[in-house]
Each structure stands twice: as C-alpha cells, then as structure tokens.
Amino acid sequence: MIDSLLLNAISWAREAGAVHLRYFRGNQLEIKSKFNDSDIVTAADKAAEKLIIDHIRSTYPHHSILSEESGVENHDSEYRWVIDPLDGTTNFSQGLPQFCVSIGIEHNGVTEIGVVYAAYLNELFHVIRGRGAYMNGEPVKVSGKTRLDQCVVATGFPVDKDRNPDNNVDNLTRVLPHVRGMRRLGSAAIDLCYVGAGFLDGYWELNLHQWDVSAGLLFVEEAGGSYTHFRTDRNVSVLAGTPSIHDQLLPMLSTEAATK
C-alpha cells in the first residue's frame, strides 16, 4: 500500500508540475487576493489542485483530503492527503522559479509519505518514514554543520506582517549577525527540503499551515535533521535544521508574540 501511494503521489506531483509550467511566466495567471495582497492565489494553484484531488477521489475515494484552496474533505479513513498545490505562489506570480507542489500522506494522523516537486528546477524530493530522504532518486542528508557562523539559514514572514507586529523581524534581527548568510526563498516546502538535502543549514518560520510543512518536516526528519514547533499560538511555527544548528537557533527565537 505504502509503495503504491508513493508512486501515485510522485506521478500526480509531476502532473501538477506540468500544470505549473504551462502557466509560468504567462499572461493567464488570474491573480486574486485572499487574506490580503500578500496572500494570493492563481489559476495555476486551482488547476493543479483540481488535478490532484480528482486523482485522489478516483483512486482512493474513501481517503480524506486537506488542501490549501479547497479546505477539508473528511471521510471515515485511516488516510489523509495534505496538499499544497502550489507552494511559493508569490514567487510564481512574479516569474521567480522557487515554487513547488507538496503532497503529504498521513496514516492515522502521522505523516508517512512526502513528495515535493519543484518543476522549473527539476527537483523531486520524496520520503517514506523509516526509509530515508531522496532528491531525484539519490539519498540525501542534512549538512551536519556545527558552527553557526558557517551556516546559511532561511526564514519567511507571515502574510499579516503589514498589520501584526508579531512578524518575525525580532527573530531575524537576533539571528542575522551570527550566521554566514540569510535567505528568504519564499516556499516553506522547498526550504524544508533544502535543509534535508544540506543546501540550507537551518530554517524557521511562523504562521504556516499543515499543507506547507506536511511533506517537508518528514523529509527533514528522515534526512537526519531536527525540528521543533517553537510557537503554539501562531498556527504552525517551526524551526528545522541540522541537529547542532537547530539547538543553537532555538533559544534565539521568541516563543511568544512580539509587541510594539
């Protein structure tokens, strides 16, 4: 069952990636705002989501689904698919290549399979719990760095950054002087997979959602990394990294809301 689920998830992620590429840098994006102008959806998000959900409904009609644009579809099932049909929509809408589809598959509430596919970059990440993490079919591991001053780390900022002072700037200010470099790639799923592959040494972000991290957190874990939910009051707020760097970054991050 697990192996067939993985193969289908990979196949459908590749199909969704092909949808992304048909729209990318085109003039039919139909960009619309959701929460605010920092939180947008495009025709590609919706088309990729429909493709994946149609496949799931046809192949696994009793499986539950949680997807970014369509929300929750509950069935009496041990399995749930957690889907971000286009993670990095802002990048995508600007013509920047850091975007992907992310698919996590839970069994009895635990993520067992993850697939992240960045079509433009031709990077396919997949993971099964207990079997390691893979990029384009090759096993990968976290970087293993232990010195923070030699590390490149990534972060992101919540969509309500314009009206909420709890916007991660305080954490950025504390961490930035201590690292070799700071990056803001704009896709949580890619950030997490890059930690697992050793391209980034650490990553944190607050106010994410389960579809952003379902596949990526399992990827980090199976690649030998560590992660912590460092906030409980801002949706999904996670820190991930190679174990030593994770442990050095954690005390630098605020565990409660910043105020003016």
CATH no., domain 148-252:
3.40.190.80
What is d(CA 11, CA 5) in angstroms, rounded to the nearest whole number? Answer: 10
CATH no., domain 2-140:
3.30.540.10
- Average pLDDT, stretch 166-173? 96
- What is the pLDDT, as a whole number, of residue 33? 76
84 marked ligand binding residue: yes
Please determine, for residue 138, whether its predicted confidence score (pLDDT) is greater than 70.
Answer: yes
Q: Per DSSP, what are the bridge partners of residue 108?
A: none
- What is the pLDDT, as a whole number, of residue 255? 86
What pLDDT, in 10s, does the model give residues 74-107? Answer: 888 999 999 999 999 999 999 999 999 999 999 9
68 marked ligand binding residue: yes
Closest residue by Cα to residue 218 from 117, 108, 63, 103 = 103
Q: Which two tokens stand for residue 79?
A: 């399995």
What pLDDT, in 10s, does the model give residues 16-53? Answer: 999 999 999 999 988 887 656 556 789 999 999 999 99
Q: Which two tokens stand for residue 240?
A: 């991930």
> In the chain, where does the domain assigned CATH 3.30.540.10 lie?
2-140
3-state percent breakdown (helix, strand, coil) of the chain, nearest 5 = 35, 30, 35
86 marked ligand binding residue: yes
49 marked ligand binding residue: no
- What is the pLDDT, as a whole number, of residue 259? 55
- Average pLDDT, stretch 71-75? 87
> In the chain, where does the domain assigned CATH 3.40.190.80 lie?
148-252
212 marked ligand binding residue: yes
